Structure 1
Amino acid sequence: MKVVKLNATTSTNSYLRAYTKEFDSESDVLVWTLDQRAGRGQRGASWESESGKNLTFSVFKRVKGLPVGKSFYITMATSLAIYEVLEEFGVMNISVKWPNDILAGKSKICGILIESVIRNGLYAVIIGVGLNINQKVFKHAPRATSLALETGKIFDLEEVLEFLIIKFYKYVALITQGAFETLKTEYEDKLFRKGKVSTFKTNSGELFTGIITEVSKTGKLILQLEDELYKEFDLKELKLLY
Protein backbone atom coordinates (compact mmCIF):
# COMPACT_ATOMS: atom_id res chain seq x y z
CA MET A 1 0.00 0.00 0.00
CA LYS A 2 1.28 3.44 -0.93
CA VAL A 3 0.87 5.97 1.90
CA VAL A 4 0.59 9.70 1.19
CA LYS A 5 0.74 12.04 4.18
CA LEU A 6 -0.62 15.59 3.96
CA ASN A 7 -0.29 18.41 6.46
CA ALA A 8 -3.79 19.62 5.61
CA THR A 9 -6.59 19.12 3.09
CA THR A 10 -10.32 19.69 2.84
CA SER A 11 -11.42 16.05 2.53
CA THR A 12 -9.18 13.01 2.10
CA ASN A 13 -11.93 11.27 0.11
CA SER A 14 -12.13 14.19 -2.33
CA TYR A 15 -8.34 14.47 -2.54
CA LEU A 16 -7.95 10.76 -3.21
CA ARG A 17 -10.65 10.70 -5.87
CA ALA A 18 -8.83 13.48 -7.75
CA TYR A 19 -5.42 11.92 -7.07
CA THR A 20 -6.34 8.50 -8.44
CA LYS A 21 -7.65 9.94 -11.70
CA GLU A 22 -4.03 10.65 -12.57
CA PHE A 23 -2.88 7.02 -12.55
CA ASP A 24 -3.97 3.43 -13.02
CA SER A 25 -2.04 1.58 -10.34
CA GLU A 26 -2.50 -1.98 -9.17
CA SER A 27 -1.54 -0.96 -5.63
CA ASP A 28 -3.82 0.45 -2.96
CA VAL A 29 -3.29 4.05 -1.88
CA LEU A 30 -3.86 5.58 1.55
CA VAL A 31 -4.01 9.34 2.06
CA TRP A 32 -4.04 10.74 5.57
CA THR A 33 -3.84 14.21 6.97
CA LEU A 34 -3.23 15.85 10.32
CA ASP A 35 -5.73 18.59 9.51
CA GLN A 36 -8.92 17.73 7.61
CA ARG A 37 -10.88 20.94 7.24
CA ALA A 38 -14.07 19.73 5.56
CA GLY A 39 -14.48 16.07 6.41
CA ARG A 40 -17.70 14.50 5.19
CA GLY A 41 -19.98 11.93 6.77
CA GLN A 42 -23.18 10.14 5.88
CA ARG A 43 -26.24 12.21 4.86
CA GLY A 44 -24.00 15.19 4.11
CA ALA A 45 -22.92 15.58 7.73
CA SER A 46 -19.59 17.22 8.59
CA TRP A 47 -16.90 15.57 10.71
CA GLU A 48 -15.36 17.48 13.62
CA SER A 49 -11.66 16.80 14.08
CA GLU A 50 -9.10 18.81 16.03
CA SER A 51 -5.87 19.29 14.06
CA GLY A 52 -3.16 16.76 14.90
CA LYS A 53 -5.29 14.82 17.37
CA ASN A 54 -7.09 12.21 15.27
CA LEU A 55 -6.78 9.86 12.33
CA THR A 56 -8.51 11.16 9.22
CA PHE A 57 -7.63 9.14 6.16
CA SER A 58 -8.96 7.53 2.99
CA VAL A 59 -8.02 4.34 1.19
CA PHE A 60 -8.29 3.72 -2.55
CA LYS A 61 -8.93 -0.02 -2.74
CA ARG A 62 -9.12 -1.85 -6.05
CA VAL A 63 -12.09 -4.23 -6.07
CA LYS A 64 -12.27 -5.00 -9.78
CA GLY A 65 -14.24 -8.22 -10.22
CA LEU A 66 -16.33 -7.75 -7.07
CA PRO A 67 -19.99 -7.46 -8.07
CA VAL A 68 -21.64 -4.13 -7.21
CA GLY A 69 -24.18 -6.08 -5.15
CA LYS A 70 -21.40 -7.26 -2.84
CA SER A 71 -19.77 -3.87 -2.28
CA PHE A 72 -21.22 -3.61 1.24
CA TYR A 73 -18.82 -6.34 2.32
CA ILE A 74 -16.08 -3.69 2.09
CA THR A 75 -18.01 -1.71 4.71
CA MET A 76 -18.25 -4.83 6.87
CA ALA A 77 -14.51 -5.52 6.57
CA THR A 78 -13.58 -1.92 7.43
CA SER A 79 -15.95 -1.81 10.41
CA LEU A 80 -14.61 -5.08 11.81
CA ALA A 81 -10.99 -3.97 11.39
CA ILE A 82 -11.64 -0.78 13.35
CA TYR A 83 -13.64 -2.67 15.97
CA GLU A 84 -10.74 -5.06 16.56
CA VAL A 85 -8.18 -2.27 16.80
CA LEU A 86 -10.28 -0.39 19.35
CA GLU A 87 -10.79 -3.56 21.35
CA GLU A 88 -7.07 -4.34 21.44
CA PHE A 89 -6.26 -0.79 22.52
CA GLY A 90 -8.57 -1.14 25.52
CA VAL A 91 -11.84 0.49 24.47
CA MET A 92 -14.88 -1.13 26.11
CA ASN A 93 -18.52 -1.64 25.04
CA ILE A 94 -17.83 -1.29 21.30
CA SER A 95 -20.53 -1.81 18.71
CA VAL A 96 -21.21 -1.09 15.05
CA LYS A 97 -24.13 1.25 14.47
CA TRP A 98 -25.50 0.37 11.05
CA PRO A 99 -24.27 0.95 8.53
CA ASN A 100 -20.80 2.15 9.49
CA ASP A 101 -20.46 4.16 12.67
CA ILE A 102 -18.43 2.68 15.50
CA LEU A 103 -19.66 3.39 19.02
CA ALA A 104 -18.13 3.12 22.47
CA GLY A 105 -21.16 2.80 24.70
CA LYS A 106 -23.55 5.28 23.09
CA SER A 107 -20.85 7.70 21.94
CA LYS A 108 -19.43 7.81 18.41
CA ILE A 109 -15.72 7.13 18.18
CA CYS A 110 -15.40 6.49 14.44
CA GLY A 111 -17.24 7.25 11.22
CA ILE A 112 -16.78 5.63 7.83
CA LEU A 113 -17.78 6.93 4.40
CA ILE A 114 -17.39 4.62 1.41
CA GLU A 115 -17.75 5.80 -2.18
CA SER A 116 -17.70 3.66 -5.32
CA VAL A 117 -15.43 4.28 -8.31
CA ILE A 118 -17.17 3.08 -11.46
CA ARG A 119 -15.11 2.28 -14.59
CA ASN A 120 -16.99 -0.25 -16.73
CA GLY A 121 -18.47 -1.66 -13.55
CA LEU A 122 -17.25 -1.45 -9.95
CA TYR A 123 -13.54 -0.68 -10.25
CA ALA A 124 -12.58 0.50 -6.78
CA VAL A 125 -13.88 1.98 -3.55
CA ILE A 126 -12.67 4.99 -1.62
CA ILE A 127 -12.95 4.32 2.10
CA GLY A 128 -12.92 7.44 4.26
CA VAL A 129 -12.29 6.99 7.98
CA GLY A 130 -12.47 9.49 10.81
CA LEU A 131 -11.21 7.88 14.03
CA ASN A 132 -11.05 9.98 17.18
CA ILE A 133 -7.75 9.30 18.92
CA ASN A 134 -6.45 12.01 21.28
CA GLN A 135 -9.15 14.69 21.08
CA LYS A 136 -10.86 15.29 24.42
CA VAL A 137 -13.23 18.18 23.72
CA PHE A 138 -15.91 18.08 21.01
CA LYS A 139 -17.71 21.40 20.60
CA HIS A 140 -20.15 20.37 17.87
CA ALA A 141 -20.53 16.66 18.49
CA PRO A 142 -21.80 16.14 22.03
CA ARG A 143 -22.05 12.37 21.59
CA ALA A 144 -18.48 11.95 20.37
CA THR A 145 -15.69 10.18 22.24
CA SER A 146 -12.10 9.11 21.55
CA LEU A 147 -9.51 6.51 22.49
CA ALA A 148 -8.01 9.00 24.93
CA LEU A 149 -11.35 9.65 26.64
CA GLU A 150 -12.21 5.95 26.80
CA THR A 151 -8.84 4.69 28.05
CA GLY A 152 -7.17 7.66 29.72
CA LYS A 153 -4.13 7.20 27.47
CA ILE A 154 -2.51 9.20 24.66
CA PHE A 155 -1.72 7.31 21.46
CA ASP A 156 0.76 7.63 18.62
CA LEU A 157 -1.25 8.26 15.45
CA GLU A 158 1.11 6.44 13.09
CA GLU A 159 1.23 3.39 15.34
CA VAL A 160 -2.57 3.16 15.38
CA LEU A 161 -2.70 3.66 11.60
CA GLU A 162 -0.18 0.88 10.96
CA PHE A 163 -2.17 -1.47 13.18
CA LEU A 164 -5.37 -0.53 11.34
CA ILE A 165 -3.85 -1.35 7.96
CA ILE A 166 -2.89 -4.83 9.19
CA LYS A 167 -6.40 -5.49 10.50
CA PHE A 168 -8.00 -4.09 7.34
CA TYR A 169 -6.18 -6.56 5.13
CA LYS A 170 -7.04 -9.37 7.53
CA TYR A 171 -10.74 -8.81 6.88
CA VAL A 172 -10.37 -7.95 3.21
CA ALA A 173 -8.79 -11.39 2.84
CA LEU A 174 -12.16 -12.90 3.76
CA ILE A 175 -13.68 -11.16 0.73
CA THR A 176 -10.88 -12.42 -1.51
CA GLN A 177 -11.46 -15.94 -0.17
CA GLY A 178 -15.20 -15.67 -0.79
CA ALA A 179 -15.97 -16.06 2.94
CA PHE A 180 -18.91 -13.66 2.70
CA GLU A 181 -21.09 -15.44 5.25
CA THR A 182 -18.30 -15.41 7.83
CA LEU A 183 -17.83 -11.68 7.34
CA LYS A 184 -21.56 -11.02 7.50
CA THR A 185 -22.01 -13.08 10.67
CA GLU A 186 -19.14 -11.30 12.45
CA TYR A 187 -20.49 -7.90 11.41
CA GLU A 188 -24.03 -8.71 12.57
CA ASP A 189 -22.77 -10.04 15.92
CA LYS A 190 -21.43 -6.56 16.66
CA LEU A 191 -24.47 -4.55 15.57
CA PHE A 192 -25.70 -1.89 17.99
CA ARG A 193 -29.21 -2.64 19.33
CA LYS A 194 -29.47 -5.96 17.48
CA GLY A 195 -32.31 -8.08 18.87
CA LYS A 196 -33.68 -5.22 20.98
CA VAL A 197 -36.83 -3.20 20.50
CA SER A 198 -35.69 0.15 19.13
CA THR A 199 -37.28 3.35 17.89
CA PHE A 200 -36.76 4.55 14.33
CA LYS A 201 -37.65 7.76 12.53
CA THR A 202 -38.54 7.93 8.84
CA ASN A 203 -37.66 10.81 6.52
CA SER A 204 -41.22 12.07 6.88
CA GLY A 205 -40.85 12.25 10.67
CA GLU A 206 -42.90 9.15 11.48
CA LEU A 207 -41.76 7.18 14.53
CA PHE A 208 -42.07 3.41 14.73
CA THR A 209 -40.55 0.53 16.67
CA GLY A 210 -38.78 -2.50 15.33
CA ILE A 211 -36.13 -5.07 16.13
CA ILE A 212 -32.88 -5.26 14.16
CA THR A 213 -32.51 -8.87 13.04
CA GLU A 214 -29.81 -8.80 10.37
CA VAL A 215 -28.35 -6.95 7.39
CA SER A 216 -29.05 -8.02 3.82
CA LYS A 217 -26.22 -9.01 1.47
CA THR A 218 -26.55 -5.61 -0.18
CA GLY A 219 -26.30 -3.76 3.14
CA LYS A 220 -29.94 -2.99 3.88
CA LEU A 221 -31.15 -3.16 7.47
CA ILE A 222 -33.74 -5.87 8.10
CA LEU A 223 -36.22 -5.11 10.87
CA GLN A 224 -38.86 -7.25 12.50
CA LEU A 225 -42.02 -5.17 12.76
CA GLU A 226 -45.45 -6.00 14.19
CA ASP A 227 -47.11 -9.34 13.43
CA GLU A 228 -43.74 -10.96 12.62
CA LEU A 229 -43.45 -8.81 9.48
CA TYR A 230 -39.89 -8.34 8.20
CA LYS A 231 -38.91 -5.36 6.10
CA GLU A 232 -35.71 -4.04 4.53
CA PHE A 233 -34.62 -0.40 4.80
CA ASP A 234 -31.72 1.48 3.27
CA LEU A 235 -29.76 4.31 4.88
CA LYS A 236 -31.82 7.10 3.33
CA GLU A 237 -35.13 5.72 4.61
CA LEU A 238 -34.76 5.83 8.38
CA LYS A 239 -32.72 6.86 11.38
CA LEU A 240 -32.17 4.89 14.58
CA LEU A 241 -33.00 6.92 17.69
CA TYR A 242 -31.06 6.11 20.86
Structure 2
Amino acid sequence: MHNHAPEMPAGFTLRAFESVGSTNDVARELSSDPSYGNIVVWADSQCEGRGRSGRVWTSPAGNLYNTVLIRDVGALAQAASLSLVAAVAMGEAVARFLPDSGGLGYKWPNDLLFDRAKFCGILLESGQALGNNWVMIGSGVNLVRHPEDTPYPATNLKALGADVGAAVLLQAYVERLDHWIGRWRQSGIAAVRDAWLSRAVGLGEKIQARLADGQVLEGMFRDLDAHGVLILDVPGKGTRVISAGDVFFP
Protein backbone atom coordinates (compact mmCIF):
# COMPACT_ATOMS: atom_id res chain seq x y z
CA MET A 1 0.00 0.00 0.00
CA HIS A 2 2.35 2.72 1.22
CA ASN A 3 5.73 1.91 -0.30
CA HIS A 4 7.43 4.88 1.34
CA ALA A 5 5.95 5.27 4.81
CA PRO A 6 6.86 8.62 6.35
CA GLU A 7 9.14 8.75 9.35
CA MET A 8 7.54 10.04 12.53
CA PRO A 9 9.17 12.09 15.30
CA ALA A 10 9.92 10.38 18.60
CA GLY A 11 6.75 9.77 20.60
CA PHE A 12 4.49 9.42 17.53
CA THR A 13 3.21 6.09 16.18
CA LEU A 14 1.94 5.87 12.58
CA ARG A 15 -0.98 3.65 11.56
CA ALA A 16 -1.58 3.64 7.79
CA PHE A 17 -4.66 2.35 5.95
CA GLU A 18 -5.91 2.14 2.37
CA SER A 19 -9.42 3.22 3.34
CA VAL A 20 -11.28 3.99 6.56
CA GLY A 21 -14.60 5.46 7.52
CA SER A 22 -12.91 8.41 9.22
CA THR A 23 -9.34 8.80 10.44
CA ASN A 24 -10.73 10.56 13.53
CA ASP A 25 -12.84 7.51 14.36
CA VAL A 26 -9.84 5.20 14.05
CA ALA A 27 -7.74 7.46 16.28
CA ARG A 28 -10.53 7.52 18.85
CA GLU A 29 -10.61 3.72 18.92
CA LEU A 30 -6.83 3.61 19.46
CA SER A 31 -6.87 6.28 22.18
CA SER A 32 -7.55 3.77 24.96
CA ASP A 33 -4.61 1.52 24.00
CA PRO A 34 -1.78 2.23 26.47
CA SER A 35 0.83 0.89 24.04
CA TYR A 36 0.46 4.03 21.92
CA GLY A 37 1.79 7.48 22.72
CA ASN A 38 0.76 10.17 20.26
CA ILE A 39 -0.96 8.52 17.30
CA VAL A 40 -0.93 9.43 13.59
CA VAL A 41 -3.67 7.80 11.50
CA TRP A 42 -3.22 8.13 7.73
CA ALA A 43 -5.58 6.86 5.04
CA ASP A 44 -5.57 6.96 1.25
CA SER A 45 -9.31 7.61 1.30
CA GLN A 46 -12.24 8.01 3.69
CA CYS A 47 -15.82 6.95 3.09
CA GLU A 48 -17.23 8.92 6.04
CA GLY A 49 -14.92 11.94 6.22
CA ARG A 50 -16.34 14.89 8.11
CA GLY A 51 -15.58 18.51 8.75
CA ARG A 52 -16.74 20.96 11.40
CA SER A 53 -20.36 20.88 12.58
CA GLY A 54 -20.87 17.42 11.08
CA ARG A 55 -20.38 18.56 7.50
CA VAL A 56 -19.26 16.00 4.94
CA TRP A 57 -15.60 16.22 3.87
CA THR A 58 -15.29 14.74 0.38
CA SER A 59 -12.37 12.30 0.54
CA PRO A 60 -11.36 10.75 -2.81
CA ALA A 61 -8.09 8.86 -3.18
CA GLY A 62 -5.04 10.96 -4.02
CA ASN A 63 -5.33 13.62 -1.34
CA LEU A 64 -4.00 13.58 2.25
CA TYR A 65 -6.29 12.48 5.08
CA ASN A 66 -4.88 12.15 8.56
CA THR A 67 -5.55 12.52 12.25
CA VAL A 68 -2.94 13.21 14.91
CA LEU A 69 -3.97 12.32 18.46
CA ILE A 70 -2.04 14.28 21.08
CA ARG A 71 -2.11 12.98 24.63
CA ASP A 72 -1.89 14.84 27.94
CA VAL A 73 -3.03 18.23 26.63
CA GLY A 74 -4.19 19.57 29.99
CA ALA A 75 -7.36 21.64 30.24
CA LEU A 76 -9.53 21.17 27.15
CA ALA A 77 -10.51 24.86 27.13
CA GLN A 78 -6.89 25.75 26.43
CA ALA A 79 -6.44 22.84 24.03
CA ALA A 80 -8.96 24.41 21.64
CA SER A 81 -6.14 26.68 20.46
CA LEU A 82 -4.44 23.63 18.93
CA SER A 83 -6.42 24.32 15.75
CA LEU A 84 -4.22 27.40 15.27
CA VAL A 85 -1.11 25.37 16.10
CA ALA A 86 -2.08 22.79 13.48
CA ALA A 87 -2.77 25.46 10.86
CA VAL A 88 0.67 27.00 11.31
CA ALA A 89 2.34 23.58 11.24
CA MET A 90 0.53 22.60 8.05
CA GLY A 91 1.18 26.01 6.51
CA GLU A 92 4.91 25.72 7.11
CA ALA A 93 4.95 22.19 5.70
CA VAL A 94 3.01 23.16 2.56
CA ALA A 95 5.12 26.29 2.00
CA ARG A 96 8.18 24.10 1.44
CA PHE A 97 6.67 22.72 -1.75
CA LEU A 98 4.96 25.77 -3.27
CA PRO A 99 6.83 27.71 -5.97
CA ASP A 100 5.62 30.88 -4.24
CA SER A 101 3.95 30.79 -0.81
CA GLY A 102 2.89 34.43 -0.84
CA GLY A 103 -0.78 33.56 -1.29
CA LEU A 104 -0.85 31.08 1.59
CA GLY A 105 -3.15 32.14 4.39
CA TYR A 106 -5.00 30.99 7.51
CA LYS A 107 -8.75 31.45 7.81
CA TRP A 108 -10.09 31.50 11.34
CA PRO A 109 -10.65 29.12 12.95
CA ASN A 110 -9.57 26.08 10.97
CA ASP A 111 -8.88 26.45 7.23
CA LEU A 112 -5.86 27.01 5.01
CA LEU A 113 -6.34 29.01 1.82
CA PHE A 114 -4.30 30.08 -1.16
CA ASP A 115 -5.47 33.36 -2.68
CA ARG A 116 -8.63 32.82 -0.60
CA ALA A 117 -9.34 29.39 -2.15
CA LYS A 118 -9.51 26.56 0.39
CA PHE A 119 -7.14 23.60 0.11
CA CYS A 120 -7.07 22.31 3.70
CA GLY A 121 -9.55 21.92 6.53
CA ILE A 122 -8.83 21.05 10.15
CA LEU A 123 -11.18 19.42 12.68
CA LEU A 124 -10.49 19.19 16.41
CA GLU A 125 -12.16 16.65 18.67
CA SER A 126 -11.32 15.92 22.28
CA GLY A 127 -11.82 13.28 24.92
CA GLN A 128 -10.27 11.43 27.81
CA ALA A 129 -8.43 8.11 27.98
CA LEU A 130 -6.03 6.49 30.40
CA GLY A 131 -6.70 9.25 32.92
CA ASN A 132 -5.67 12.16 30.70
CA ASN A 133 -7.26 14.52 28.20
CA TRP A 134 -6.40 14.14 24.53
CA VAL A 135 -7.10 16.14 21.39
CA MET A 136 -7.44 14.75 17.88
CA ILE A 137 -6.37 17.03 15.05
CA GLY A 138 -7.94 15.78 11.84
CA SER A 139 -6.89 17.40 8.58
CA GLY A 140 -7.63 16.94 4.93
CA VAL A 141 -5.40 18.45 2.25
CA ASN A 142 -6.41 18.72 -1.40
CA LEU A 143 -3.22 17.47 -3.05
CA VAL A 144 -4.35 16.65 -6.59
CA ARG A 145 -8.09 17.35 -6.73
CA HIS A 146 -10.70 19.47 -5.02
CA PRO A 147 -14.50 19.57 -4.92
CA GLU A 148 -16.15 21.77 -7.50
CA ASP A 149 -19.59 22.20 -5.91
CA THR A 150 -18.59 24.18 -2.83
CA PRO A 151 -20.13 27.44 -1.56
CA TYR A 152 -16.61 28.89 -1.38
CA PRO A 153 -13.61 28.84 -3.76
CA ALA A 154 -11.46 25.70 -3.52
CA THR A 155 -8.16 24.58 -5.02
CA ASN A 156 -5.50 21.88 -4.74
CA LEU A 157 -1.74 21.92 -4.32
CA LYS A 158 -1.01 20.40 -7.72
CA ALA A 159 -2.92 23.25 -9.37
CA LEU A 160 -0.75 25.64 -7.36
CA GLY A 161 2.45 24.06 -8.67
CA ALA A 162 3.28 21.93 -5.62
CA ASP A 163 4.34 18.45 -6.70
CA VAL A 164 4.24 16.64 -3.36
CA GLY A 165 2.91 13.24 -2.36
CA ALA A 166 0.86 12.45 0.71
CA ALA A 167 3.68 10.63 2.53
CA VAL A 168 6.18 13.45 2.08
CA LEU A 169 3.72 16.14 3.16
CA LEU A 170 2.53 14.11 6.15
CA GLN A 171 6.09 13.72 7.40
CA ALA A 172 6.79 17.44 7.00
CA TYR A 173 3.53 18.32 8.74
CA VAL A 174 4.00 16.06 11.77
CA GLU A 175 7.57 17.32 12.19
CA ARG A 176 6.34 20.93 12.30
CA LEU A 177 3.39 19.96 14.49
CA ASP A 178 5.75 18.31 16.98
CA HIS A 179 7.83 21.50 17.05
CA TRP A 180 4.89 23.85 17.57
CA ILE A 181 3.17 21.64 20.15
CA GLY A 182 6.40 21.67 22.14
CA ARG A 183 6.31 25.46 22.13
CA TRP A 184 2.58 25.47 22.89
CA ARG A 185 3.13 23.25 25.94
CA GLN A 186 5.72 25.74 27.22
CA SER A 187 4.02 29.04 26.43
CA GLY A 188 0.42 28.34 25.42
CA ILE A 189 -1.09 30.07 22.41
CA ALA A 190 1.29 33.02 22.78
CA ALA A 191 3.92 30.81 21.15
CA VAL A 192 1.97 30.46 17.90
CA ARG A 193 -0.31 33.52 17.82
CA ASP A 194 2.10 35.81 15.96
CA ALA A 195 2.92 33.13 13.38
CA TRP A 196 -0.78 32.58 12.72
CA LEU A 197 -1.56 36.31 12.51
CA SER A 198 1.28 36.83 10.02
CA ARG A 199 -0.79 34.91 7.45
CA ALA A 200 -4.30 35.67 8.75
CA VAL A 201 -6.75 36.10 5.88
CA GLY A 202 -9.01 39.12 6.33
CA LEU A 203 -7.11 40.69 9.22
CA GLY A 204 -7.91 44.41 9.33
CA GLU A 205 -10.69 43.92 6.77
CA LYS A 206 -14.47 43.65 6.86
CA ILE A 207 -15.63 40.07 7.39
CA GLN A 208 -18.83 38.26 8.27
CA ALA A 209 -19.03 35.83 11.19
CA ARG A 210 -21.91 33.35 11.36
CA LEU A 211 -22.46 32.21 14.95
CA ALA A 212 -23.80 28.86 16.13
CA ASP A 213 -27.27 30.35 16.69
CA GLY A 214 -27.43 31.53 13.09
CA GLN A 215 -26.74 35.17 13.88
CA VAL A 216 -24.47 36.89 11.35
CA LEU A 217 -22.20 39.71 12.48
CA GLU A 218 -20.33 41.99 10.09
CA GLY A 219 -17.37 44.05 11.15
CA MET A 220 -13.62 44.46 11.04
CA PHE A 221 -11.42 41.51 12.01
CA ARG A 222 -9.20 43.33 14.48
CA ASP A 223 -7.16 40.65 16.23
CA LEU A 224 -7.03 37.37 18.15
CA ASP A 225 -7.14 37.57 21.92
CA ALA A 226 -4.82 35.70 24.28
CA HIS A 227 -6.93 32.53 23.87
CA GLY A 228 -7.11 32.54 20.08
CA VAL A 229 -10.62 33.99 20.05
CA LEU A 230 -11.55 36.31 17.18
CA ILE A 231 -12.03 40.00 18.02
CA LEU A 232 -14.55 41.71 15.74
CA ASP A 233 -15.31 45.44 15.70
CA VAL A 234 -19.00 45.69 14.81
CA PRO A 235 -20.27 49.15 13.76
CA GLY A 236 -22.78 50.43 16.30
CA LYS A 237 -22.32 47.42 18.57
CA GLY A 238 -18.74 47.78 19.74
CA THR A 239 -16.28 44.93 20.06
CA ARG A 240 -17.51 41.34 19.93
CA VAL A 241 -15.43 38.38 21.00
CA ILE A 242 -16.21 35.25 18.99
CA SER A 243 -15.09 31.85 20.24
CA ALA A 244 -16.88 29.73 17.63
CA GLY A 245 -18.37 30.40 14.23
CA ASP A 246 -17.78 30.50 10.48
CA VAL A 247 -16.03 33.39 8.78
CA PHE A 248 -16.94 34.69 5.33
CA PHE A 249 -15.44 37.42 3.18
CA PRO A 250 -18.13 39.73 1.73
What TM-score do the two structures reach when normalised by structure 1? Answer: 0.87
Structure 2 unaligned residues grouped into runs of 5+:
1-11
Paired residue for 2:138, among 122, 128, 141? 128
**Residues 73 and 183, structure 1, Cα contact 8 Å, conserved in 2:** no
Aligned to 1:197: 206
Query: What is the SS of the residue equivalent to 1:147?
Result: coil
118-127 vs 208-217, greater mean Cα deviation:
118-127
Q: Percent identity?
A: 22
Query: What is the SS of the residue equivalent to 1:15?
Result: helix
Query: What is the SS of the residue equivalent to 1:134?
Result: coil
Aligned-partner residue type, residue 62 of structure 1: R
**CA deviation after TM superposition for structure 1 residue 204, in Å:** 6.2
Aligned to 2:53: 43
**Residues 229 and 242, structure 2, Cα contact 8 Å, conserved in 1:** yes
Paired residue for 1:31, among 7, 32, 41? 41
CA distance change for structure 1 residues 56 and 118 in 2, over 3 Å: closer, same or farther? same
CA distance change for structure 1 residues 120 and 68 in 2, over 3 Å: closer, same or farther? farther
**CA deviation after TM superposition for structure 1 residue 215, in Å:** 2.2
Map 1:19-168 → 2, pairs under 5 A: 19-21=30-32, 23-25=33-35, 27-51=37-61, 53-64=62-73, 66-90=74-98, 91-119=101-129, 123-135=133-145, 138-141=147-150, 143-151=153-161, 153-168=162-177
Structure number having the greater helix percentage: 1
CA distance change for structure 1 residues 189 and 104 in 2, over 3 Å: closer, same or farther? same
1:212 and 2:194 aligned: no
Partners of 1:26 and 1:203 in 2: how far apart? Answer: 35
Query: What is the SS of the residue equivalent to 1:177?
Result: helix
Question: How large is the Cα RMSD of the aligned pairs?
Answer: 2.3
**Residues 67 and 122, structure 1, Cα contact 8 Å, conserved in 2:** no
Partners of 2:182 and 2:31 in 1: how far apart? Answer: 23
**CA deviation after TM superposition for structure 1 residue 165, in Å:** 1.2
1:16 and 2:22 aligned: no
Count of residue pairs the alignment pairs up: 236
Aligned-partner residue type, residue 100 of structure 1: N
Aligned to 2:6: none
Structure 1 unaligned residues grouped into runs of 5+:
none
Partners of 1:231 and 1:120 in 2: how far apart? Answer: 38
What TM-score do the two structures reach when normalised by structure 2? Answer: 0.85
CA distance change for structure 1 residues 76 and 204 in 2, over 3 Å: closer, same or farther? closer
Partners of 1:92 and 1:185 in 2: how far apart? Answer: 17
**CA deviation after TM superposition for structure 1 residue 225, in Å:** 1.6
Aligned to 2:8: none
Aligned to 1:231: 240
**Residues 26 and 62, structure 1, Cα contact 8 Å, conserved in 2:** no
